[in-house]
Chain A
Amino acid sequence: MAKSIDVSDLNIYYGDFLAVEGVNMTIKARSVTAFIGPSGCGKSTMLRSLNRMHEVIPGARVEGKIMVDGQSLYDASVDPVAVRREIGMVFQRPNPFPTMSIYDNVLAGNRLNAKRLKKSESDDIVERSLKAANLWAEVKDRLGKPGMGLSGGQQQRLCIARAIAVEPQVLLMDEPCSALDPISTSAIEDLIHELKTDYTIVIVTHNMQQAARVSDDTGFFNLKATGEPGHLVEFNPTKKMFTNPDHESTEAYISGRFG
């Protein structure tokens, strides 16, 4: 199920503006990779380029290569819609579909794949996904209720359930805990630990402790100066990153002595 991702010499542009420059990294299968760095350094853009979600913004384009298990992501013959079915995404703010019930929210992705689902199959998918997202016990008696009625942390886990219901290869998370309280955050972090046995997970976070807690590898992004493109300063195992980083600026950022 899980796949590795190779990024080589990646530049990402918005129109003429170069947002991220020269990224090389290898994201291992069945592991958690964290992107850290100051605001505006392009980590979210980098993350979005991994499932071509940045293309939603007009004028966005990339140069360089992203290979998912040997298959080029930006090949002319590759349909971005197909990419996003393989590489799921969880956003900064929980975004369940407001008019759908919990049940329908979980199945939203599966129903896109056009084939008719039997009631029993649907029930199985909903139960399996909600259990995998550690939400089943809390919502199993109110699956028909709207997803918006849940708390923020529950909504975010519902979004994770929705993303894994289609059994993607990779799960991208764009600051999934930044809108949540510490208890919900810890629930999501536990969940990430469990999910990495089945999925390749890439997570963007502003929270250094979170990166240290959940990830196996960490990439530190930074800007050379304001207005300059963001770039990958260092990509190393998280343990090394937080104890003995290669770069001085990494250590400065991690220890809070920024700049």
Chain B
Amino acid sequence: MAVRHSEVLSPEGFRVDGRRANEARRLRLRLGASPGADGSAYVELGNTKVLATVSGPHESIRKGAHDAAALHVELTTLPFASGVYRAHGRSDRASQELCAAVRKSFEAVVQLHLYARTQIDVAVCVMQTDGGVRSAVVNAVTLALVDAGVAMEDFLCACSVGAVGGVLLLDPNAQEDQAGSELSIAYLPRSERISAVQLESKLPASSLDEVMNVAIEGCKQMFDIMRGAVQIRTQELLHSRGMFNA
């Protein structure tokens, strides 16, 4: 069901789902989506749906370095997430790779040294997949950590760009994804640094710059929405504690 190359962007400038090339899908967010957790966030990027929960910082049960907190990331993809039944183990390679990448990115952002001798557990549940899972996961984890009140140096925002037949498409969905190569980046919007880059399949080196720029633009779009959601959540919390009257 891959889209044919000639069809990814119509001469009128629309993609198969009605977006323009530089438009991300609708990003819908909810902080505190799982009330029992220390922090949680639910992210819908188009049709991709992800729930991240954070537990901790709490006393470390594992031995390790004492001068900083340990960050653990676990990822589950529900068997009905893709439209056909697939029993994902937690140990399948793709999940493991994604876990490791997420952990690495966040180790650089979370101020782990503030939480010595503790551990922070992040659990991600991928409920529905339709392209951009990596970006949705990173954005959800950022928000869950914010929700848990874990100190971070910056937001970590992620977005992907597909390059299909010379056309760059921001935030490709699964249908577009199969047609070309895809680059996803995790970006620190305030310090304007890139924390992680991942490229699936080949891309001409000459266009890398352009692709990165489009991806960064996408991350900034994501950031604006994420920041908005955090503000709403903060007001809610203040309100519920009677500290703020709108």
Partners in one complex: no
Task: List residues of chain B with CB under 8 Å of any chain A CB.
Answer: none
Q: Which residues of A contact B (CB under 8 A)?
A: none
